[in-house]
Amino acid sequence: MSVIPHLINGELVTENGRAVDVFNPSTGQAIHKLPLATRETIQSAIDAAKAAFPAWRNTPPAKRAQVMFRFKQLLEQNEARISQLISEEHGKTLEDATGELKRGIENVEFACAAPEILKGEYSRNVGPNIDAWSDFQPLGVVAGITPFNFPAMVPLWMYPLAIVCGNCFILKPSERDPSSTLLIAQLLLEAGLPKGVLSVVHGDKTAVDALIEAPEVKALSFVGSTPIAEYIYSEGTKRGKRVQALGGAKNHAVLMPDADLDNAVSALMGAAYGSCGERCMAISVAVCVGDQVADALVAKLVPQIKALKIGAGTSCGLDMGPLVTGQARDKVSGYVEDGVAAGATLVVDGRGLTVAGHEEGFFLGGCLFDNVTPEMRIYKEEIFGPVLCVVRVNSLEEAMQLINDHEYGNGTCIFTRDGEAARLFCDEIEVGMVGVNVPLPVPVAYHSFGGWKRSLFGDLHAYGPDGVRFYTRRKAITQRWPQRASHEASQFAFPSL
Ligand code: NAD
């Protein structure tokens, strides 16, 4: 079994000590050992970042952008290799892995616009002989902690932008599927990034706590589950750090009686079961307005769920791979059991699925519940697996009330042909990302990504314009160059025009 190294100060570093296994979820076999960083290892990455910062912050933005242009080319050239690594350790299908990488590359493209993004604002003659401007300056050393479900895309939400803004970055990726994340970081160094500007350190709570507690780390970006997001936000902000912590989700799709049902069903199949439901924007609740819509929806979904092509993610032409770990599979199965015990109707039961040739893989077939009600755990909690719950309501208002009362507010969508209903939904729904006939409204890289309520702790969303704000701080400069021979008398009143 190979050992996956850290990447610190441009070097691949291994360490003895605590380690965990990385699995191939399709075979159920451990394939790599992953060291868990000690506090000393984290400190060495921080020291390298601190040392690299002065030169990097003074590197012209256009030069920093040139590194990103080369990085984008390398990512595209290595698309197949990266997708294979994602699929091998996460379990998602190759097509899905490539899709995630492409969405990650969008963020590199956005970062290529650094000279434009960092232009700042300038006002001439704000007073006699006085000009003023505001500058976007980097924060220094910043860190990111990322989840298993997008090992390529979520880190790419963070460090290309942080780095192009002049910061040095320490990434602590998920311990479940770190190989693609590491390879991508190596490609950025190959693209010409000076050593120390980006380090990748593997680890668990010890590593994360070391990053939170280090005074040199000025900001933390986190994406993962809500309890950890809340912990990192409160511990980080307590220490005066800037923190954006994106958490879990329960995303509802509302189906109106006038929806184009066939298209809505196609969209729901991908949004609920794609990536085995392990997406923070996955649709996990279908809210049907009226029994007629619910009955028709369930009737159309059942055969399609039963026909899902499930197998090893690295095989071609599949709809769904396994869940990421045996523990994740058992947790999701536990929710299915819980839903049955609570009285929901289990219309399709995916438990007990085995895939020929991959009997030890962490597979679970698609599951569908009908007659789910708001007090059930399967409705309230994030399941993060291939389980769709149908909730029946009588009106759009009731559907919206249900969504607004939920603790999470990441994504949602409405399927309708009625512009008035869609507009009301967009205006009044308390969710950060909204789709109209679009099931996974993940914003493109030049907008920003973020949920509301307990799906995000902090003020600024991830990437795009909010990302620039997050990774820079404003400096307002007011400058006077008096004309020669003029004499300015002392002014004791507050300066004004
Ligand atoms: P997770 O919270 O278990 O882990 C995320 C990161 O936190 C990992 O790097 C992990 O090593 C670290 N971590 C875990 N336990 C920790 C602890 N006690 N202290 C400090 N750090 C700790 O999440 P996951 O299982 O990897 O990912 C799935 C979750 O992420 C889901 O809840 C999903 O909704 C969420 N997610 C949210 C978004 C979003 O944009 N809102 C995007 C992707 C995933």
Ligand 1-lining residues (CB < 6 angstroms): 145-150, 154, 172, 174-175, 204-205, 208, 223-225, 228, 246-249, 280, 382, 384, 410, 451, 455
Pocket test for ligand 1, best of 36, 146, 206, 225 (most atoms within 8 A of CB): 225
How many angstroms is it from 385 CA to the middle of ligand 1? 15
Using alpha carbons, list the distances in angstroms from residue 239 to 168, 220, 309, 310: 19, 11, 49, 46
277-296 b/e (C-beta count within 10 Å ≥ 16 → b) = bbbbbbbbbbbbbeeebbeb
pLDDT at 359: 95
The Cα–Cα gap between 347 and 301 comes to 10
* Residue extent(s) of CATH 3.40.605.10 domains in the chain: 2-247+455-477
Q: 411 forms bridges with which residues in the sheet?
A: 433
pLDDT at 484: 77
pLDDT at 496: 84
SS3 449: strand
Positive or negative: CA dihedral 139, 141, 147, 150: positive
| Fold for the domain defined by 2-247+455-477 | Aldehyde Dehydrogenase; Chain A, domain 1 (3.40.605)
For the chain, residues with pLDDT lower than 50 are: none
Residues with catalytic function: 280
Query: Which is the closest atom of ligand 1 to the Cα of 462?
Result: 40
By C-alpha distance, which of 319, 325, 326 is closest to 365? 319
How many angstroms is it from 224 CA to the middle of ligand 1? 3
Tokens matching residue 324: 């990421």
pLDDT at 361: 97
| Fold for the domain defined by 251-436 | Aldehyde Dehydrogenase; Chain A, domain 2 (3.40.309)
Contact (Cβ atoms closer than 8 angstroms) between residue 286 and residue 261 = no
Place of tokens 């040739």: 357
* Residue extent(s) of CATH 3.40.309.10 domains in the chain: 251-436
Query: Which is the closest atom of ligand 1 to the Cα of 228?
Result: 2
How many angstroms is it from 146 CA to the middle of ligand 1? 6
